Structure 1
Amino acid sequence: MDRIIRVWNPYLPGKPTGMLKSHTAPVIYIHVSAEDNKIFSMSMDNTVKIWDLETYSCLFTASSKASGIKGELASCLYLPNSRALYVATDTVALLHLRLRCPPEPHLVVSHREPVVCCRYNPAFQQVVSCSEASEVKVWDFETGRLLSEFIGAHGNAGITCLTFDSSGRRLVTGGRDGCLKIWSYNNGHCLHTLKHDEKQSEVCDCTYLEVNQNKCIIAVGWDRRINMYFDAPHDFHHFWKPQPHWKDDLNHGHQEDILCVAQCPPFLLATSSYDGEIIIWNVVSGHMYCKLNTPRSSEGTKEREDPDRSVSCLAFLKTRAVKFETTAASLMANGAQGSVTFWRLFGSACPMANFTPSTNKAQVSSMAVTAGDALAYVADQEGFVHVYDIKEYGLQGSELHAPTKAMFWRAHVNMVTSLELIEERVLLSASLDRTVRLWSPEGECIGTFGQNSPWDIFTPDSWSHPRVPCEILTDPQSMPAHPVLAGGVSARLTRKEEGDDVTEEKAGAKPEKTFYSPGDSTLEVEVKADIHQRLLLEQDKASRRTPEPGWPSVYQTLRCHEVACVSALGEKPDLSIIGSDLFNLNFLTQEKEGSETPQREH
């Protein structure tokens, strides 16, 4: 009843060895997990706390409202193998416990949780990023500084996608709770919540569409339908009501969860689903234009060997699509086993090309295309960004080979979740490694949002380049011996010259261009030496970093000297040799009086 948990040694019953004080209501239940050395306690205010049995500190507090637990808590059980806590009320709730790795002090992160999406707002020159913890951050594009942030955008549900309205003044986010929310994102005020009356299903992607002066939001997700909300600010009573589903969508639409949506003005819309199906729609009439089925990664592959055919990335080649070219590929999509497929949409819809950017078939996670469809940026689950020259690719028929790879580099150490070209001169990327970064089109690192030193986007001397983010430099997959980089290429940045298989590594602001042939045996040694040199530079920079407030900047050296024992313990030493008594309170006075005597050498 006193809200204190006491820990006892059974052989010393007189006094508790530890007292855990944090509950604000009487404690009603305790569960001890000997395997993990943790204590789980429950109190009458429906709160569950996790304690460390070694340090007697509270590790985590879970409230029933925040965790979605209904009813009065009765008991709990922890399973260490699955790291799951079962809480019993009138029902049983399962809480998965995820241990957050403490960030390394020298690593720069933009969010405390994995970043799931980010977009650039050209109206205000700002970057908005969202994390799995339903946290929204607004960054200054020109300097990388944090401008504002707000948490709990979708309550306990995570954010899955975001977009802006045509004016850029409102932010639209979609979440796992099945809702779309409209924000005045500078102050974190929610203007509207959009949802269907039906059972709420996770929203996977959304886009803001403007057709014939009609503005609307289109959202897709696990309900397998295309949900449309008209933007009619002049009529607030009709504002954001869900529109009826298209007949073609109801009768011939997707049979699996829809993962992605992409638009091509003035009226083309593409959606893709978990089973690999791609549907092209006419948003004016609501009719289906064509249906595409993603090819298998290789001929003769069995279904059990290739179960994942989901398409989660779509990108229109708009200069071709608006002309309705019947011989050229007009759509890019990812596919099974890390493949990328070029599709012809007009005439007879069919795949025009299929290739795999990553050597180890890492799944493509994001794509971006330049305005003139000259270059395609493809990012994968391992954090690599591949750049392809597609200006003349897939124009006159099927292609048997992959397009020319202009370059590639490692941008993140985990899956890239967002990739966007900003004004054709800067590449914006976000990743599950909790970072949001800016890159030049050539792969030069401008900086990571949230770093201590701001950059000036118009001054290349202020960019982080040629410094590589430390976690990328030291990651095992960035090493030349790793299969991802097999074939004699470097981990930093690679250019393939026209008609010749040579690579060029950039190692400084004004690098000396050193060329290596793919079979050069000295490549790995030289690249490893370069990586070792950069690591030494990073360590040297870390050692010269300004110390934390309150700590000395220079530590004095302590030297040990032998001290002879002059008397037994407890006896007053004989101080007659110095002519004074150290235990005399008048010692300082005596010292002053004898200042006329010659000073002794010490």
Structure 2
Amino acid sequence: SNQVWSLLNGLNLHKLEPVAGSEVSALTCVPGSKVLAVGWSQRIAQYDVTADLKVKADMSWKSRGVHRADVLAVCPCPALGVVATASYDGEIVVWRLDVQGPLLHLRRQSLQLVFCLGLKRLFPAGRFYAPEEPGRCVPCLSSDQPENAVLVSGSTAGRLQVWDISRYALDTLVKINPNAARSWTAHEAPLACAEVLELSERLLVFTASVDGSAGLWTASGVPVGLFGRQDAWSITGHSSHSAPLESGALPWNICVHRHRPGF
């Protein structure tokens, strides 16, 4: 099941009703305290997270039959009043938030045109191998936009790395690594998500693993808490935070990850 947690204390706020038992591939937040879920149902499910603990799926979006394959990603752009979804067959659909309907379809030919039009502005500024072990992959990246001073990468080894990119590749293409500010083992299993968040004027890193566990960290590698545990935390208080982890150490007992409490 999909659940909504509080970053402030790690408590479970809402449990979202699944749609026809289909797998959910991605979630996103949109204005109005709404959460959108996409996945194997090929439709958009909306949840109002201002209501009760158990939230029913609102299927009012005009999404039936729009995607013809499993939807794998969703990304909002509130400034333009739109949200984009991408499916397994390579199609991207841009939706209007106000009418909850499709605005634009981008298929392979359209995407090639968009790519060509953007070539003058989109080019690599830096290229480097991020994993600490050979043969590993980096499935998730995030930065502290719009400042772009910190880049966080998560690997299939469960490792999290924080890079200082404040002065990296500003003028020319470079192929050397930026300065690695910190790295630690965040989860026992491969990472599926790593997001840089700013809360209470502090940079935090949210992580989620393929084993269903999810945690919150400071940017210096201090564990704040693991979602789904009974004990709450306070991100404004330093007493509940331990010291930065040693390389390879796990902040929580491994059995927590295997049994996945609360998931």
TM range (shorter): 0.7 to 0.9
Provide, for residues 408-435 of structure 1, a one-character-per-residue CA deviation record: whole Å limited to 9, x for no partner. 0000111211211221421111111221
Deviation for aligned residue 1:250: 5.7
Determine if contact 1:175/1:202 at 8 Å carries over to the other structure. yes
**Counterparts of 1:203 and 1:467 in 2: how far apart (Å)?**
38
1:407 aligns with 2:199: no
Question: Among 239, 242, 255, which residue is 2:102 paired with?
Answer: 242
Question: Among 151, 158, 161, which residue is 2:23 paired with?
Answer: 158
Question: Among 400, 417, 421, which residue is 2:192 paired with?
Answer: 417
**Counterparts of 2:166 and 2:70 in 1: how far apart (Å)?**
37
- Matched with 1:352 is 125
Provide, for residues 246-269 of structure 1, a one-character-per-residue CA deviation record: whole Å limited to 9, x for no partner. 5xx463436xxxxxxxxxxxxxxx
**Counterparts of 2:143 and 2:235 in 1: how far apart (Å)?**
21
Give SS of 1:353's match: coil
The residue type paired with residue 381 of structure 1 is T
**Counterparts of 2:165 and 2:149 in 1: how far apart (Å)?**
5
**Counterparts of 1:217 and 1:178 in 2: how far apart (Å)?**
15
1:429 aligns with 2:207: yes
The residue type paired with residue 46 of structure 2 is I
Write out aligned runs for 1:475-514 (5 A).
Answer: 490-492=247-249
- C-alpha RMSD over aligned residues: 2.7
Determine if contact 2:23/2:39 at 8 Å carries over to the other structure. yes
CA 1:369–1:400: 2 relative to 1, 3 Å: same
- Matched with 1:177 is 41
- Matched with 1:189 is 56
Deviation for aligned residue 1:446: 0.9
**Counterparts of 2:78 and 2:9 in 1: how far apart (Å)?**
31
Question: Among 192, 212, 223, which residue is 2:89 paired with?
Answer: 223
1:367 aligns with 2:141: yes
- Matched with 1:442 is 220
Deviation for aligned residue 1:448: 0.5
CA 1:467–1:399: 2 relative to 1, 3 Å: closer
Provide, for residues 539-579 of structure 1, a one-character-per-residue CA deviation record: whole Å limited to 9, x for no partner. xxxxxxxxxxxxxxxxxxxxxxxxxxxxxxxxxxxxxxxxx
Q: TM-score, normalised by structure 1?
A: 0.38
Q: TM-score, normalised by structure 2?
A: 0.82
Determine if contact 1:142/1:457 at 8 Å carries over to the other structure. yes
Deviation for aligned residue 1:203: 0.7
- Matched with 2:170 is 395
Identify which of structures 1 and 2 has the higher relative contact order when contacts are C-alpha pairs closer than 8 Å and 6+ apart. 2
Determine if contact 2:185/2:247 at 8 Å carries over to the other structure. no
The residue type paired with residue 177 of structure 1 is S
Determine if contact 1:438/1:445 at 8 Å carries over to the other structure. yes
The residue type paired with residue 432 of structure 1 is V
**Counterparts of 2:154 and 2:105 in 1: how far apart (Å)?**
33
- Matched with 1:148 is 14
The residue type paired with residue 69 of structure 2 is S
- Matched with 1:378 is 153
Provide, for residues 279-330 of structure 1, a one-character-per-residue CA deviation record: whole Å limited to 9, x for no partner. 866xxxxxx6336xxxxxxxxxxxxxxxxxxxxxxxxxxxxxxxxxxxxxxx
- Matched with 1:461 is 239
Deviation for aligned residue 1:467: 9.3
Give SS of 1:354's match: coil
Unaligned runs of 5+ in 1: 1-134, 233-238, 255-278, 282-287, 292-344, 469-488, 493-530, 539-602
Determine if contact 1:177/1:200 at 8 Å carries over to the other structure. no
Provide, for residues 147-185 of structure 1, a one-character-per-residue CA deviation record: whole Å limited to 9, x for no partner. 23134x222211001111133x11111111211111113
- Matched with 1:270 is none
**Counterparts of 2:22 and 2:139 in 1: how far apart (Å)?**
22
Greater Rg by CA: 1
**Counterparts of 1:427 and 1:174 in 2: how far apart (Å)?**
24
Give SS of 1:251's match: helix
Give SS of 1:378's match: strand
Question: Among 40, 60, 73, which residue is 1:205 paired with?
Answer: 73
- Matched with 2:256 is none
**Counterparts of 1:391 and 1:178 in 2: how far apart (Å)?**
39
Structure in which a larger fraction of residues adopt helix: 1
Write out aligned runs for 1:38-437 (5 A).
Answer: 135-151=1-17, 153-167=18-32, 169-185=33-49, 186-187=51-52, 188-191=55-58, 192-197=60-65, 200-211=68-79, 214-232=80-98, 239-245=99-105, 249=107, 251-253=109-111, 289-290=117-118, 346=121, 349-358=122-131, 359-371=133-145, 372-423=147-198, 424-437=202-215
**Counterparts of 1:231 and 1:490 in 2: how far apart (Å)?**
44
Determine if contact 2:140/2:153 at 8 Å carries over to the other structure. yes
Give SS of 2:239's match: helix
**Counterparts of 1:369 and 1:240 in 2: how far apart (Å)?**
29
**Counterparts of 2:67 and 2:174 in 1: how far apart (Å)?**
45
